[in-house]
A = this chain, B = another copy of it.
């Protein structure tokens, strides 16, 4: 379930980016793609293909899971969304393009976003540049989230 939602201005920016990305990549504007992207653009929970499928079925009850898989892969190739580095069994997706990082709870597998402007300012070591051409850099934290800590502490 999705409690926190994305602010309107961020959501609208994402939708506009989606529309231009479709045009630029020659993607047809299908009902399925719009509904799937709208769900992602509003999401803060880094949903898996199955989570997206479950939610978009409210709008398109006949949509198939493989369409969701194909669509997510397509969006990823266009740079519209990212696969999250979280290896929680299933691939998880994120429509947030603003630089941010992830805290993965090893207990409940929830993925939390956080910003870390200090990180953005630190230069990569030479070692990294020697390996190849860096396109994306991100920090990943693992730990136990507050919710799980509280649950464990209460008995």
The reply to whether B148 and A132 contact each other, CB–CB distance below 8 Å, is yes
Q: Which segment of A3-11, A18-26, A111-119 sits at the interface?
A: A111-119
Q: Which segment of A49-57, A66-74, A133-141 sits at the interface?
A: A133-141
The number of chain A residues touching the other chain, given as a range, is 35 or more
Per-residue CB contact flags for chain A residues 98-113 toward chain B (1 = under 8 Å, else 0) read: 0001010110000010
Report the bound CA distance from A138 to B101 in whole Å. Answer: 11
Point out residues on A near B: beta carbons under 8 Å: 83-87, 91, 101, 103, 105-106, 112, 114-119, 122-125, 127-128, 130-149
18 additional A-B pairs beyond A115-B125, A115-B127, beta carbons within 8 Å, are A87-B91, A106-B135, A112-B131, A112-B132, A118-B123, A118-B125, A131-B145, A131-B146, A132-B145, A132-B146, A132-B149, A133-B144, A136-B141, A136-B143, A138-B139, A138-B141, A139-B140, A140-B140
